[in-house]
Amino acid sequence: MNLERFTAGELIRDTYTIVRHLGSGAFGDVYLSRHRYMGLQALKVFPRQEGTDALEEAYLLTKLSHPNIVRVFEANEFKRAGESYGYFSMEYVEGGTLSNTVDSGLPSGDRVSLGRDILAGLAFAHSQLPPIIHRDISPSNILIDRTHDCLSAKISDFGLAKHVDPDSLVASAAGKYLYMAPESFLGKHSTATDVYSAAIVLFELFTGKHPFRVGLSASATASEIANVVRESRTQLIPNLSDCSSEFGSQWDYLFQKALAHDYEDRPGSAQEFLAQFKNACEATDRGSASIGADDAHAMVTEAKRLSEHLKRRPVHSCFARSPCLRMVSASKGLAVTLRCLRDKCR
């Protein structure tokens, strides 16, 4: 985004004094500012564009008061040198983004705690009526709070992705597309879309690796990047336990579901994803690498769902994509059910 930078000491609306520039993105520039009465705040500044007005949705963002969401205090507009700008004033989080934390050598317990924070914040947004969809869950939109004894994660920039200037997209395309769900490339967004993006972020946080192999050229255009990433979504979903010895097999089913290509096969919202995440945590705390009762129940439910699915439509690769195939040994009773379904798929 080619915005003329604000300089330290500049005053905005007689309220915010610019302290320093913090960073830039496709949506705008972020500054550390000092509010006249409320101290340090982050200020996201962006150009006002005809037909693309994020300020109209500011009231939705101010409703999101949760410890794992960056708080938005105010949204307004101002003029500078004849140009119109909008801004959001937000909670200032000092610890940087998750992008700087993924490769920092954090213990697995801290990584799981940050993952729980991310899902808790997203679940709160999805619980609103109507649900608030983020559209751009990625490490650069997750801030790390280091002000207390333990780390915590906070999600920022809810809903702002749809207001991005297309001319500014190329520079940030890799970071944007790498976490997109398959249907997002078709312009479809839902709570299940956020679940997919969050699952990639968590997989990367836990293993240090992206779940899909993506080879990108440094000179690739935004369109070329989108095509490469979209093709990568047809790859088999890896098991988390194969990528990191710190995580047992109880985590595999969780990510197999959340990264399903078909959004109907994923958890429908972050609330559902968070509940399954907590089940995996509890299984880990019990020191069990085997499939627990909650997972077995989920597998039986999945088998029943597949059975009903087979009655409604012809079967091709639907069952081949199901994570249940990898878990038939967990329960003899379930194995019989799955074997019957598999025979029908042949």
Q: Tell me if residue 136 is catalytic.
A: yes
The total of other beta-carbon atoms located within 10 Å of residue 208's CB is 14
Which tens digits make up the pLDDT trace of 15-33? 999 999 998 876 789 999 9
Q: What is the structure's pLDDT at 168? A: 44
Q: What is the structure's pLDDT at 325? A: 41
Q: What is the structure's pLDDT at 100? A: 82
Cα dist from 60 to 42, 71, 178, 283, whole Å: 18, 11, 27, 36
List the chain domain ranges: 11-90, 98-290, 291-346
Q: What is the structure's pLDDT at 289? A: 45
CATH class of the domain at 98-290: mainly alpha
Considering the four listed CATH numbers 3.40.50.300, 3.40.50.740, 3.30.200.20, 3.10.350.10, the one that applies to the domain covering 11-90 is 3.30.200.20
67 and 61 in contact (C-beta within 8 Å)?
no
H or E, element range at 110: helix 108-126
Q: What is the structure's pLDDT at 155? A: 96
pTM of the full structure: 0.77
Alpha-carbon gap, residue 255 to 273, rounded angstroms: 10
158 and 125 in contact (C-beta within 8 Å)?
yes
* Catalytic residue (choose from 14, 29, 53, 136): 136
> Which parts of the chain register pLDDT below 50?
1, 51, 163-172, 288-290, 315-346
The DSSP output letter for 14 is T
Q: What is the structure's pLDDT at 277? A: 98
Q: What is the structure's pLDDT at 300? A: 64
Q: Residue 40: helix, strand or coil by DSSP? A: strand
